[in-house]
Amino acid sequence: MTTNDTTAGAVSGENLDKLNANLRKVEELTQRLTQVLTHRSTHNTALDGPNQELFAKAATAYWHEAFREPAKVLEHQLQFWSKSVTHFVEAQQALASGKLQAPADPGPKDRRFANPLWDTHPYFNYVKQQYLINADAVQQAVDDVSDLDPLEKKRLAYFSRQIVDMMSPTNFLATNPDALEKAVETEGLSLVQGLENLISDLEANNGELIVKLADDKAFELGGNIATTPGKVVFRNKMMELIQYTPTTETVHKTPIVLFPPWINKFYILDLKQQNSLVKWIVDQGHTLFVVSWVNPDAAYADVGLEDYIEDGYLTAIREAKAICGEKQVNAIGYCIAGTTLSLTLSLLKQRKDKSIKSATFFTALTDFGDQGEFAPFLTDDFIDGIEAETEAKGILPSVIMARTFTFLRSNDLVYTPAIKSYMMGETPPAFDLLYWNGDGANLPGKMAMQYLRGLCQRNELATGGFDLMGHHLELGDIDVPLCAIACETDHIAPWKDCYRGVQQMGSKDRTFIMTQSGHIAGIVNPPSKNKYGHYTNDDLGLDHADWLEGAKFHEGSWWPRWGRWIKKRGGAQVPARTPGDSEHPVLCDAPGTYVAVKAKP
């Protein structure tokens, strides 16, 4: 034995000792894992997926299809069998040849399988290709089911896809080359760190598994995120009202009051100076107020949409008018806050109150006739489960909503981050958008059910009217000048559905803008980035397809276009206003205190 051989053996033995030591740490961590799982908070099991009735109906429909068109079903079955057997034979032939190599055709590209070993290593290539064959077979089987209600088939397709995505070989250590390579490279330390990350995520959510998407230690509200200067000038049980410090010597007379969604925190519009819509609006010479909603707990169980309108919208508008000495405001509503702004506008119309001069809607649904990708979650079995959950806890916990939203993009927002965190032992990235995404809020039980039953399921606002606060609220009542911005690839509020709701509003002065990208990136799209363009078409009498076909595309952000629109409704210039007044003393600096309250399951 040479010296080099001896050294190599010693190093190998040392590495093995490190590996064994790290694996012992894994065993020690299991006690902590057992503890958190033993004391985990529970939720209604109906929220975990569809009841067995859906799959029973699907199976029955599939067999009906087999009896009605046996040739088609058999053809698809034989294709699956043929592909699987051929794949197995090719793998056997490769092994028999004595060459440890994958076939020349590595199979279709999929970003989950970026590691070269998926194409070059026979074991990983075999696993990958068989998984893709299986996935295609499941998809084909779902497509073959025709004797099923369209909504139920949509749910079947969604949950089948979830099962297929969950079973990807990348999600398991033994069949993930990236994770295996990292484990060997770090003598098992990556597995220890991964288990630490897993347990930390479980502990943070009382046993519910919500994958942390960003490093929450990298951000501080008011420090390096949500930093636009301003003051909290009013506070009640529902919200804090922030008035932002002017950056221009004069401002438009009519103030703007911005209502963000209360499902998440308002600072999505103030992440950092470079992409802050809050800062941009202030820099355009507007007095801007932003509502920061309370993060409700069980004490808010009986709070409904009427409370958000009365103690949120109407109060914020009243206080902004008083501070500025004006009779009107320009209002903005984002997502669910835009939906509720439409209710508020109908209410004010019926009360003959002209406090709102104009309304802007960001990705706001008012016609829920086509529920899009949320259809699987708006059937009675799931909503019944939410109702039972809210009755038991008084709130719809943020973790339930977060899980629902993330599984709409499960590969990007669940499995890929989970692999990096739990298998690779990586620290989540310091990404402000993902940090915000994980900083959710609970919903009051009553409000959640009003929204889900009355607006989403029964679509009352767009199909006859929604009863609230002693009024029958209708879209046709909305008659103020309005501008609606929707997003081309928005899976939460599809642009065509936002458009359909705007078409039903009674305003003679209506502007509709469709921006590229999705629910967040389409809105948080500063001009300096010059990243996403937008479409306009003045003819809102067309259906959505014809509107888009005739629309003009504009390079760059929609912000300047909306800026010109709101400027026309901003009024004359007056001296810039310092936040608050003698009747509204400054309570604290922006971003305030409500935004810092974390949701508790």
Q: Do the Cβ atoms of 196 and 29 come closer than 8 Å?
A: yes
Cα separation of the two ends of the chain? 62
**Alpha carbon of 404 to those of 123, 398, 401, 422: distances in Å?**
35, 10, 5, 21
Cα–Cα dist 396/464, whole Å = 28
Cα–Cα dist 130/137, whole Å = 11
Question: Which three-class secondary structure state does DSSP give residue 531?
Answer: coil
In the set 324, 335, 456, 483, the catalytic residue is 335
Whole-angstrom Cα Rg for the chain:
28
Q: Which position has the token pair 């940090």?
A: 435
Identify whether 487 is a catalytic site residue. no
Q: Which tokens is 442 given?
A: 């609970």
The backbone torsions φ and ψ at residue 358, rounded to the nearest 5 degrees and listed phi first, read -150, 160
Cα–Cα dist 519/18, whole Å = 47
Query: DSSP of 535-584, one letter per residue?
Result: EE-S-TTS-HHHHHHTPEEESS-SHHHHHHHHHTTS-SEEEPPPS-BTTB
Strand-strand pairing, 329-334 and 256-259: parallel
- Of 140, 107, 141, the C-alpha closest to 121 is 107
Three-state DSSP string of 426-451: CCCCCCHHHHHHCCCCCEEHHHHHHH
Three-state DSSP string of 95-118: HHCCCCCCCCCCCCCCHHHCCCHH
- Catalytic positions are 335
